[in-house]
Structure 1
Amino acid sequence: MAQVLEFKLPDLGEGLTEAEIVRWLVDVGDVVAIDQPVVEVETAKAMVEVPCPYGGVVTARFGEEGTELPVGAPLLTVAVGGGADPGTPPAAGAAPAPAQDADAAVSSEYSGNVLVGYGTAGPAARRRRIRPQSPAVVHPTPTTTAGPTPTAQAAPAPAAVAAPAGPVPVISPLVRKLARDRGLDLREVRGSGPEGLILRADVERALTARETPVAAPAPAPAASVTAAGERVPLRGLRGAVADKLSRSRTEIPDATCWVDADATELMAARAAMNAAGGPKISLLALLARICVHALARFPELNSTVDTAAREIVRLPGVHLGFAAQTPRGLVVPVVRDAGTRTAESLTEEFARLTESARQGALTPADLTGGTFTLNNYGVFGVDGSTPIINHPEAAMLGVGRIIPKPWVHQGELAVRQVVQLSLTFDHRVCDGGTAGGFLRYVADCVEQPAVLLRTL
């Protein structure tokens, strides 16, 4: 006999405590394999497809698309093991498998894809056994109910009960929607179905029994919506960005300095590299190489501030973040160990992370751990900016567009490729002299790429 097991939203790492359901990848009644993605969620870091550690039949889903769930909340239940045909859910009202069968089901149907709280770490990682009469046990029944059954009609009106721990014993999404639209808490409804399953008739009787039914609010007239303004929830990626930027401006006493530089020679050097054959070198990769060498000369800017200890922590390696605009908003992927990479390796890694960002496939690890950020806002057609530091880093280099401008070159007025460079830095880690020295070195390398040869 199949055993119904509950799969909860796992800890997705990096301190994330909640996720929003973006898209269900399975329906109730679908057969799923071990490690098959069952739902796509959006965290504060990235879009993530969550694999289910069990193989069997989906018997219930918890949460509509657009719903935010905390880590540890039920995602779905799956009927697994017991030698049953995985394509056939257990009959309504069937008793759970004995304890030893439940253990066998977990052992044989368990995921090899290690999630926090799930995986193949041995007996300690197994899910708890589902015992008879437990509110967490959900036995699959048809997902819709045409009306009260004869037994349900004869049953007395359901009484309010204390909210139990675990998921609400209800399968049908129509029942959930009816209760939600009418403001009824399903945890206060006693179900008349098998194992306490809440049926549509139970919800309808509970609504009738209330002295003042709560009707679903009518949509506001168009004129009222316009007058009040549109409200956009700050959640998911947008909320995470808002929190980080607010914290940066609250904690970091930032300052900005900038300089115009003649990038003609840098552009010529890149053209010569690419004309020589081999993989193409991106401009961003060359700027990254310049940043890495500048940070080696001015390590104060590759640091962070431990506010509680009142200490500046200078970091040994450069993990270079770069700003990337995506359909979901601005993200900052991180190139690990940028200081040890060649221009070709940097070009390849920038391309990989950018494509992952566009596809919404960046992992939390791709978006954390940066020590310095390079922001090429010239791609938006602007010359300059005063960016907000990517907390908890200490500095960010901004690069504007490179355009032909009148420029005095070797004592003569000429048209040159000019770029504005700006550095926003944490004034706690250094003074203006250090920041100016860093920015001037970067500008010198842009104007005369041969300067880099001294530090290679």
Structure 2
Amino acid sequence: MKLFKLPDLGEGLPDAVIREWHVAEGDTIAAHAPLVTVETAKALVEVPAPWGGRIEKLFAAEDETLDVGQPLVGFAEEADRRERDRHHERAEPSKETADAGTVVGRIQAGGGSIGAELAPQPLTARRATPSVRALARLLRVDLDQLTPAAERFTAEEVRAAAAPTRAESGSTLRPAAQQKDDTRSPARRAMALAMSRARDQVAPMTLLDEVDVHSWWGKESATLRLIRAIEAACRAEPNLNALYEDDRLTPASGVNLGLAVDSPRGLFVPVLRDIGARTDEELLQQIDTYKRQARESGINREDLQGATILLSNFGALAGRFATPVVMPPTVAIIGAGRTVESVVPIDGKPAVRPLLPLSVSADHRAVTGGELARFLAALGTALSK
């Protein structure tokens, strides 16, 4: 039996959770076809078959955790079977084969058939992505009983199919993470490892301030205003929109904003890419998609990579000020607290204004205190307009 072991999927985690097998023991699969979907570092990853052949053994069940380097799949050794066949034919030659050797000038083909290599059977096309299949399992929707409107099911189709079931039962399904202990989930292990790395590598410094936002508060999206203000502050102080690796600071050409998203499954930090090139509507739609994925199925691995600066809008829950944790190799993170109405002097007279608390942390190995202060000042200026 030829073993395929769980590979290192590049997330820095020692294990992964098996979420869905795409084959069963005895199936034949083509090289590079989908083999299994696993969850690691908050992402659903589809692992392809390293080579083609017949599946002899699956070494883990769905929802089971497997360490990197442990056997994942056993493939049947077709070469061994062919060698046994050839040995058997040599040991017991047929009468026709034995006699044919005495005929002078006769060319005799081999008396036995060398085992022909079996071509992999064609696989049925997957009718849903890993995240949509995970959502279907969560909402108890049997995709085999449905037909997608297009080539593949969408998340909206799955939710629509689940709605009648929930209405009939009169109950609301809880997220899977609330139905069972998730203290060892990939999301929480990833968070723990990331925080440990930040503690060991970063020299943090934090500055705090409040911004009068009366000109737009209650009229516009606070999250969108924060995103656009961060974009402006990064133009003013580009060294905070950068990566610090191998003792070298590399400012980024565009702003890829990592947005901290809280969920019962753990902390997710999906990336809004090149925010300067995207419309307000595109950004708000992408944020809604990430929030829904965090609650229901997990966020794709590629959407969790490539951030150049981070934002944590913790004030939506509670708290005014914080000391946000810088996540290497990024060098800065902005924390937005809960806005409160406070009395402030306006033209020498007291006035009640909404004040937005800001907490900005940076890696002092990479940037100076002056750069951090100028970044915070630019952020406040953009938010106060």
TM-score, structure 2 normalization = 0.65
- Between the aligned partners of 1:401 and 1:32, the Cα distance in structure 2 is 56
Once the 2 structures are TM-superposed, how far is the Cα of residue 38 of structure 1 from its aligned partner? 6.5
| Aligned positions of 1:216-295 closer than 5 A | 236-267=186-217, 269-270=219-220, 282-295=221-234
Q: Distance in 1 between matches of 2:302 and 2:343?
A: 44
- Which of 36, 39, 43 is matched with 1:46 structurally? 43
Instruction: Indicate the residue corresponding to 1:69 in structure 2.
Output: 67
Q: Distance in 1 between matches of 2:271 and 2:29?
A: 33
- C-alpha deviations, 1:349-390, integer Å up to 9, x for none? 222222222223312111111000011001221111101102
2:302 to 345, 353, 365: 365
8 A contact 2:19–2:39 mirrored in 1: no
Residue 117 (structure 2) aligned to one of 89, 92, 101:
101
SS of 2:345's equivalent in the other structure is strand
Q: Which amino acid in the other structure matches residue 370 of structure 2?
A: G
Aligned residues with identical type, % of pairs:
30
Once residues 38 and 398 of structure 1 are traced to their aligned partners in structure 2, the CA distance between those partners, rounded to angstroms, is: 41
Residue 324 (structure 1) shift: 0.3
For the 8 Å contact 1:404–1:416, the answer to whether it is kept is yes
> Are the counterparts in 2 of residues 403 and 419 from structure 1 also a CA contact under 8 Å?
yes
2:275 partner amino acid: A
1:242-285 superposed Cα distances (whole Å, 9 cap, x missing partner): 22212212211110001011122132552xxxxxxxxxxx3212
1:177-196 Cα deviation digits (max 9, x unpaired): xxxxxxxxxxxxxxxxxxxx
Contact 2:6/2:66 (8 A) holds in 1? no
Alignment-mate amino acid for residue 68 of structure 1: L
1:405 matched to 2:342? yes
Matched AA of 2:381: D
Letter in 1 for 2:323: T
Aligned residues: 295
Contact 1:22 1:42 in 2 (8 A): yes
- Which residue identity does 1:284 align to in structure 2? T
Match of 1:339 among 276, 283, 286: 276
* Mapped partners of 1:112, 1:345: distance in 2: 31
> Partners of 1:269 and 1:233 in 2: how far apart?
40
- Give the aligned residue type for 2:378: Y
Q: State the secondary structure of the residue aligned to 1:267.
A: coil
Q: Which one of the candidate residues 222, 239, 242 is aligned to 1:303?
A: 242
How far residue 296 of structure 1 moved from its aligned partner, in angstroms, is 0.7
Q: Distance in 2 between matches of 1:16 and 1:32?
A: 31
Change (3 A) 1:404 1:386: same
For residue 211 of structure 2, what is the amino acid of its counterpart? Answer: A
In structure 1, the residue matched to 2:85 is: none
How far did 1:66 drift?
3.0
3-state SS in 1 of match to 2:215: helix
- Structure number with greater CO (CA < 8 Å, separation at least 6) is 2
2:314–2:336 Cα contact (<8 Å) kept: yes
Q: Give the aligned partner of residue 316 of structure 1.
A: 253
Counterparts of 2:114 and 2:276, CA distance in 1: 58
Whole-angstrom distance in 2 between the partners of 1:342 and 1:318: 14
For 1:261, the aligned partner's letter is V
Q: Give the secondary structure class of the aligned counterpart of 1:347.
A: helix
Task: State whether residues 20 and 41 of structure 1, in contact with CA within 8 Å, keep that contact through their aligned partners in structure 2.
Answer: yes
CA contact (8 A) 1:28 1:58 kept: yes
Structure-2 change in CA distance of 1:379 and 1:57 (3 Å): farther
Check if 1:21 corresponds to 2:10. Answer: no
Unpaired runs of at least 5, structure 2: 79-112, 127-180
Relative distance call for 1:111 and 1:234 in structure 2 (3 A) is: same
Change (3 A) 1:261 1:78: farther
Q: Quickly say closer, same or farther: Cα 1:17–1:255, change in 2 above 3 A.
A: closer
Q: Confirm or deny: 8 A CA contact 1:323 1:331 kept in the other structure.
A: yes
Deviation at 1:439, TM superposition (A): 0.7
Q: Cα–Cα, structure 1 residues 329 and 235, in superposed 2: closer, same or farther, change >3 Å? A: closer
The answer to whether the 8 A contact 2:29-2:53 is kept is yes
Which amino acid in 2 is paired with 1:237?
A
